[in-house]
C-alpha cells in the first residue's frame, strides 16, 4: 500500500526471478531501495488522465503482468489438452451402473472413485491456478491502467464460481459413490439408496457456480482483449475472440501465450534485463 491507502502492486514483496516474479526495487531520490512509481490512475482523476500506455517506469510491472498472463495461458492449454485425453480415458475405464427410480431405471457410465477424485482435484487445481494468474496480472495492471480494474474484479468472480463448482462436484460425488456403496459392488442401486436431496443440492451448486464462473470468464476475455489495446498487439485480440468459442478456446489460449511471450521479449523480460 502507498500513502493514502492506494493499492500498489508488488510493492511489499521482495525482488526475485524473471517471468512471473516480482520486479527489482528501483531507487528513487535520496532513499535507495524505495519504489519509483508513476501516479496511479486513482491519483489522476480516476484514471481519465492516468498512464494507460507502457512507459520505462512501468516496464518492470508490465513484465510481471505479462509473465502471469503467459503462465495462465499455458495452464489453459494444458487443461484443454487434458480434457480431450481424459474423455477417451474415462470411456475406457467407466462401468455402467443402474440407478433404480420410481419411473424405471437409469444406467450411467461411472468411472472408479479414485479416477473421479483425481479428475476433480487435478482439474480444480489447474483451473484455480489459471484464474489466480489472470487475476493477479489484471490487478497489477489496474494500478497503471484503469481499463483493467473491471477485468480484475470479474476474474475474482470467476474464482468464486470455480470454488462453488468444486463444492457442487464434491456433493455429487458423495451422492453417486455413496449410493453405489449402499447397494454393493456389481448391484443395481435401489431407490432406498438414492438421496435425491443430495443430488439436487449438488446439481444446484454446479448450476450457480457455472453461471458465476461464466460471467467472470467473460471478464477475463475482456481483459485479454485490453492487453491487445495496451500493448498494441493484435494477437491478444484474436486469442480473446477464440477463447469465447467452444472447441477452439484452447487455440485462443495458445495465441495469448505466444503474444505474451513476444511482448516479454520486446520489454526485455525473457532475458531479465
Convert 13-43 into a string of H (helix), E (strand) and C (coil): CCCCCCCCCCCCCCCECCECCCCCCCCCCCC
Please compute the mean of the pLDDT values over residues 74-93 and round it to a whole number: 83
The pLDDT assigned to 18 comes to 41
Q: Is residue 112's pLDDT more than 50?
A: yes
The residues spanned by each domain of the chain are 45-267
| pLDDT, tens digit (0-9, with 9 covering 90-100), for 201-232 | 999 999 999 999 999 999 999 999 999 999 99
Cα angle 147, 40, 72 (rounded to 5 degrees) comes to 50
The pLDDT assigned to 220 comes to 96
Q: Please report, for residues 103, 105, 181, 184, the alpha-carbon distance to residue 190 in angstroms, rounded to integers and kept in the order given.
A: 12, 9, 11, 10
Rg of the chain in Å (alpha carbons): 23
Q: Which of 228, 230, 246, 247 is nearest to 238 (CA)?
A: 228
Q: Which of 116, 92, 81, 121 is nearest to 254 (CA)?
A: 81
Weakest mean pLDDT among 12-26, 67-81, 103-117, 139-153: 12-26
Q: What percentage of the chain carries pLDDT values higher than 90? A: 43
Cβ proximity of 156 and 137 under 8 Å: no
Please compute the mean of the pLDDT values over residues 148-162 and round it to a whole number: 95
Please compute the mean of the pLDDT values over residues 257-271 and round it to a whole number: 82
Amino acid at each position: 500500500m502507498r500513502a493514502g491507502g492506494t493499492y500498489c502492486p508488488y510493492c511489499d514483496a521482495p525482488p526475485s526471478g524473471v517471468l512471473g516474479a516480482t520486479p527489482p526495487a528501483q531507487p528513487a531520490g535520496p532513499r535507495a531501495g524505495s519504489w519509483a512509481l508513476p501516479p496511479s490512475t486513482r491519483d489522476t482523476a480516476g484514471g481519465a488522465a492516468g498512464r494507460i500506455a507502457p512507459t520505462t517506469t512501468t516496464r518492470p510491472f508490465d513484465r510481471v503482468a505479462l509473465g502471469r498472463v503467459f503462465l495462465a495461458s499455458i495452464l489453459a492449454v494444458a487443461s484443454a489438452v487434458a480434457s480431450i485425453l481424459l474423455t477417451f480415458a474415462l470411456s475406457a475405464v467407466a462401468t455402467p451402473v443402474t440407478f433404480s427410480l420410481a419411473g424405471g431405471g437409469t444406467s450411467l457410465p461411472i468411472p472408479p472413485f479414485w479416477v473421479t477424485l483425481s479428475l476433480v482435484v487435478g482439474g480444480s487445481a489447474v483451473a484455480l491456478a489459471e484464474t489466480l494468474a489472470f487475476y493477479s496480472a489484471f490487478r497489477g495492471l489496474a494500478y497503471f491502467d484503469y481499463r483493467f480494474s473491471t477485468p480484475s474484479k470479474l476474474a475474482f468472480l470467476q474464482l468464486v464460481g470455480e470454488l462453488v463448482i468444486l463444492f457442487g462436484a464434491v456433493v455429487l460425488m458423495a451422492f453417486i459413490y455413496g449410493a453405489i456403496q449402499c447397494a454393493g459392488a456389481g448391484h443395481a442401486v435401489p431407490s432406498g439408496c438414492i438421496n435425491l436431496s443430495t443430488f439436487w443440492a449438488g446439481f444446484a451448486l454446479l448450476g450457480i457456480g457455472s453461471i458465476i464462473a461464466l460471467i467472470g470468464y467473460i471478464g477475463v476475455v475482456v481483459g485479454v482483449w485490453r492487453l491487445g489495446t495496451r500493448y498494441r498487439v493484435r494477437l491478444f485480440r484474436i486469442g480473446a475472440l477464440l477463447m469465447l468459442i467452444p472447441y477452439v478456446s484452447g487455440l485462443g489460449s495458445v495465441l495469448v501465450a505466444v503474444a505474451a511471450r513476444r511482448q516479454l521479449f520486446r520489454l526485455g523480460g525473457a532475458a531479465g534485463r
